[in-house]
Amino acid sequence: MTTPFPLTPRIATRYISAPTMVRLVQTVGVAQSIRDIAQRVRADFCRWSDFDKTARVANHSDVGVIELMPIADTVRYSFKYVNGHPKNTRDGLPTVMAFGVLADVRTGAPLLLSELTLTTALRTAAMSALAAQALARPDSRVMALIGNGAQAEFQALAFQHLLGITELRLFDTDPAATDKLVANLHDSGLVLTRCTSTAEAVRGADIVTTVTADKTNATILTPEMIEPGMHINAVGGDCPGKTELHADVLRMGRVFVEYAPQTRIEGDIQQLPPDFPVTELWEVLTQRAPGRQSAQDVTVFDSVGFALEDYSALCFVYETAQRLGLGETLDLIPTLDDPKDLFGTLRARRAALRRAA
């Protein structure tokens, strides 16, 4: 008698652990990984209308936030789980921890389960550099890096290799963070200059990147620090009640964002009226809106991180891992002889145990 289900499809989900992701990045190279992710983000932003987009879903507590970031086109769906807990380092934990899933839209089958803590740092740096390519002066060579924590080295290398930055002016309220950064980048070829304040670091910089962690309405940059022609890459303000820029800094130039409905809630522009004009970056990348219009313009990228960037990064991880033969196969979904008989998997398991006894 012919069974109605002659073939039992097995859903094999590729799993990329944190150690495996380290191997992947070491094999490809940090700079090349950032470059590859940036290229994918650019391509995906240029097909903006293909995606079903929504602001991330966030659950806030007194000590941090846990978020889900979903997005999909007609082929693949992805989401990222990510937290932000600035005080975690006191307990020996990272401030940011993340993992993500890439799935097949046609069937819903999960294709990839991957770490995203390291990957998030790479994609955030890639996004910063991509925005700066569109907005900063092409002759930019000096960057002030305010906040020298876990994200800082990735930002530095992205700007070095994608924009040609040659000098970093460094400041962090924790000198040990700057010590760590200098040790990690001592052989990078970058000129590293320690500064004693934000104002000192910013003075004379072409680009200013702020990537601080404290969940507070801070004013890391104030109007008197801003010079004509600067590009400001504001990365750290990424949830309600957390900002880095004085509101008047935002009024000094044109502001660019990833996804305005999300940035108005989470970004530095949360300080401003809901009708404050901003330009979404995809409009610049597709030449629907101008970016920098003169060498004297002040441009601000109010970056909060958007799910489309994680989609691009997960596609990079999935395809690169396949090419390199990295990762494990997980039986995340049960294999069913009859797709309508989920309970039968329990009966089969019980029968197998009886036979073994």
Element (H, E) at 188: none
At 33 the three-state DSSP class reads helix
Orientation of helix 117-135 relative to helix 18-28, angle to 10°? 40
At 39 the three-state DSSP class reads helix
> Is 238 part of the annotated catalytic residue set?
yes
Tell me how crowded residue 183 is: count the other CB atoms within 10 A of its CB. 9
- Strand ranges for the chain from DSSP E: 13-16, 57-60, 65-72, 76-84, 98-104, 110-115, 142-146, 167-171, 191-194, 207-210, 217-221, 231-234, 243-245, 254-257, 279-280, 299-302, 328-330
- Structural tokens at position 265: 């809630």
Selecting among 36, 44, 238, 302, the annotated active-site residue is 238
Sign of the CA dihedral 31, 32, 37, 41? positive
CB 212 within 8 A of CB 188: no
At 32 the three-state DSSP class reads helix
Active centre residues (catalytic):
238
